[in-house]
Structure 1
Amino acid sequence: MTKETVLVTGGTGFIAQHCIISLLKQGYRVRTTVRSAQRENEVRQNLQQGGVEPGENLTFVVADLMADQGWDVATQGCTYVLHGASPTPSGEQVTEADWINPAIEGNLRVLRAARDAGVKRVVLTSAFGAVGVGHSSDYPRPFKETDWTNLDSDLWPYQRSKTLSERAAWAFIEKEGRGLELSAINPVAVLGPVLGADYSHSTRIIKEMLEGQPGCPDINSCFVDVRDVADLHVIAMKHPAAKGERFLASSGHSLRLVEVAHTLKTSLGDAARCVSTIELTDESVRAAADKNPVMIGMVKLLGVDMNVTAEKAMSVLGWQPRTPQQAIIATAQSLIELGLISHS
């Protein structure tokens, strides 16, 4: 018996491709959206890199978050939708509206199409950026699913877009969902095996360390392996207890960047020869940010406790992620294997 068809939006995305791999391995038929039909071959090659040969079990529909066209075709006949397509840091966004409007409108467009097509449940890929940003140092940690990012604080447009678009999705379900179910997954910094040259922005942390970034700022983060994020999406898609709930995806206590550097050093030997374990002072990072505006966001994170708990996903859904160290090493090994590291 053929399993149900699942729509995965944004098939060129890092998390989306690992979701497609997880679904295909479990026997689902998968449909995915791309903004350009020319990227189908690239997606198929990346999936092969990830160990699956999709063949006819994967089909493509051209659809853009900013246009209605294609979404009725994409959702038709699907039992579930995994919706991860959203603007991510690419350097092309100029104004805050360039981030926020596509995220909100895209979510509502997909939810509307899913509802009208009789989809049972949508699993939304949100982010830690919608949970734990903009809070004072005395705000309770670790962050959990009942926490929301403080929209009154000085936020990056990306984090604001993730927060507003997730809130818009829940409001839509409440007012206009007409029985459509929603779950949200909120990953922390996503690492894990890279499938091609298009990967998560968190992966750049590992790439830059391997390429000889001169030291580690006093920043900490939780990490999670993309394969575990994908598995959590598929569990949340089916599990009765996931209806109407959000789940943080994190694989353990937050790590300081210097701890990440030490993990690379101890695990990779000569391949990590350029990794620096020097701890940079906050003053030196601030001074560097004065000259390089790209680093201003880093200054906001100095010394901020970013710890979260994924106890809910583990206890309610039985999710069992890899360790942060396994995610870090898998990221590095895949970058090296694919020739994506350039040493000066």
Structure 2
Amino acid sequence: MEKTHNIVLITGGTGFIAVHTIVKCLTAGYLVRTSLRNMTRQDEVKKMVLQAGVPENLLTHLTFVKGDLTVAKDWEIALKNVTYVIHIASPTPTTRPKDGHAMVKMAIDGVWNVFSAAKKAHVKRIVMTSASGAVLSGHKNHPEKFTEQEWTNLDGAIDAYQRSKTRAEQEAFKFALDNDMELVTILPTTVMGPILGPDFSHSQMIIKNILEGKSKHLIKLSFDIVDVRDVAQAHVLALTQENIAGERFLITSGDHLSFKQVAHLLKDEFKAQAPYISTKEVPDWIAIMASWFIVQLRMPVKLLGQNTACSNEKARKMLGLTPLSAKTALLATAHSMFDLNIIQNNQSKG
């Protein structure tokens, strides 16, 4: 394959987006080196890559390296002979430190450590995963669709996760500008799509809880959904696309659904397998009170009463991305969870 001499370093190789990005890079003909905090998970990553349909012979193009965001020396070794970097690793709502300030610091430290090593290695371009949360958070009065021109309001009432993504992306652009480096950022909305192994992100946990009937009362929140395969493809397209250095790209299907609509879609599709799905909504004030005791609610309740719809026009025009529908992404998530026996529906009703 023509691109096999180019090594792409993908940080955080066990993550949901990262594994799908590894798949896209391998099938595009790249040599892939991916970082792991725990090197014992190499076989797990390989299994997920094969689960996605990658031919077994391409596993020879996949190698692993130790990489901890907080350890600078890891990245000088990881970046040796690398042509491109896809920086995905960052603390998430499921891996976050209890201290929000520590979460922000870890994300920023990761940028500085990875980017400093990339500068020494003279990489051609860095593509970094940010999030729509770095655009839309803290804007209570914003009726229009959000675009890449906007940034999260750091003075608003925002969660530590959105703060960490915003600050890390800002630091990344500052570093790239100061050091004359090419940087492109990818900002996915709520990411769904096929799960390849037992580990998955906070977004897919929403689907698991709905299917298992654990989300008995849904909060009144709507959000854009995107398929992880489109997110991964956007990263790969951004590696070599000309005239996009310095750009941000929101990645979304363009479909904007509420939790209630998601629950109805799943209920229609999985009546037999998931008999306990609830479509009942709860008033905002109850959701806010519940968030005092339920950690998982603390991030979404900060978006109650706010528009969160995003535009995909720029990604369509400049990257040539034609995204899958939200329904496709959601059903792929659910079907893969049933296929992997992740869904437990042995509860007694009520």
Aligning the two structures, in what range does the TM-score lie when normalised by the shorter sequence? Answer: over 0.9
Deviations 1:171-204 (A, max 9, x none): 01111x23x2100000111111111121121101
Q: Contact 1:182–1:243 at 8 Å: present in 2 too? A: yes
After superposition, the Cα gap between the structure-2 partners of 1:128 and 1:266, relative to the gap in structure 1 and judged at 3 Å, is same
CA drift at 1:169: 0.4
Structure 1 counterpart of 2:72: 68
Q: 3-state SS of the aligned residue for 2:154? A: coil
What is the letter of the counterpart of residue 199 of structure 2?
D
- 1:94 aligned residue (88, 98, 106): 98
- 1:81 aligned residue (66, 80, 85): 85
Q: Contact 1:191–1:328 at 8 Å: present in 2 too? A: yes
> In the TM superposition, what are the counterparts of 1:173-212 in structure 2 within 5 Å?
173-175=176-178, 177-178=179-180, 180-212=181-213
Q: Contact 2:159–2:302 at 8 Å: present in 1 too? A: no
| Alignment size in residue pairs | 341
Unaligned runs of 5+ in 2: none
Q: Percent identity?
A: 43
What is the letter of the counterpart of residue 105 of structure 2?
N
Structure 1 counterpart of 2:109: 105
Deviations 1:9-31 (A, max 9, x none): 11111111100000111111100
> In the TM superposition, what are the counterparts of 1:207-222 in structure 2 within 5 Å?
207-212=208-213, 213-222=215-224
Q: 3-state SS of the aligned residue for 1:30? A: strand
CA drift at 1:36: 1.8
Determine the C-alpha separation between the residues in 2 that align with 1:217 and 1:160.
22
Structure 1 counterpart of 2:149: 146
Q: Contact 2:8–2:86 at 8 Å: present in 1 too? A: yes
CA drift at 1:271: 2.1
Q: Which moved more, 1:282-291 or 1:210-219?
A: 282-291
> In the TM superposition, what are the counterparts of 1:289-304 in structure 2 within 5 Å?
289-292=291-294, 294-304=296-306
Structure 1 counterpart of 2:337: 335
CA drift at 1:122: 0.3
Q: Which moved more, 1:124-133 or 1:86-95?
A: 86-95
CA drift at 1:91: 5.7
Deviations 1:278-300 (A, max 9, x none): 23233443443455454343432
Structure 2 counterpart of 1:121: 125
Q: 3-state SS of the aligned residue for 1:116? A: helix
> In the TM superposition, what are the counterparts of 1:262-281 in structure 2 within 5 Å?
262-281=264-283
CA drift at 1:3: 4.2
Deviations 1:227-261 (A, max 9, x none): 10000000111101321100001101321111111
What is the letter of the counterpart of residue 156 of structure 1?
D
What is the letter of the counterpart of residue 43 of structure 1?
V
What is the letter of the counterpart of residue 325 of structure 1?
K
After superposition, the Cα gap between the structure-2 partners of 1:210 and 1:107, relative to the gap in structure 1 and judged at 3 Å, is same
CA drift at 1:163: 0.5
CA drift at 1:140: 4.5
Structure 2 counterpart of 1:244: 246
Q: Contact 1:241–1:317 at 8 Å: present in 2 too? A: no
Determine the C-alpha separation between the residues in 2 that align with 1:322 and 1:118.
35
Q: Contact 1:183–1:243 at 8 Å: present in 2 too? A: yes
Calculate the TM-score normalised by the size of structure 1.
Answer: 0.95
After superposition, the Cα gap between the structure-2 partners of 1:209 and 1:302, relative to the gap in structure 1 and judged at 3 Å, is same
Q: Which moved more, 1:100-109 or 1:225-234?
A: 100-109
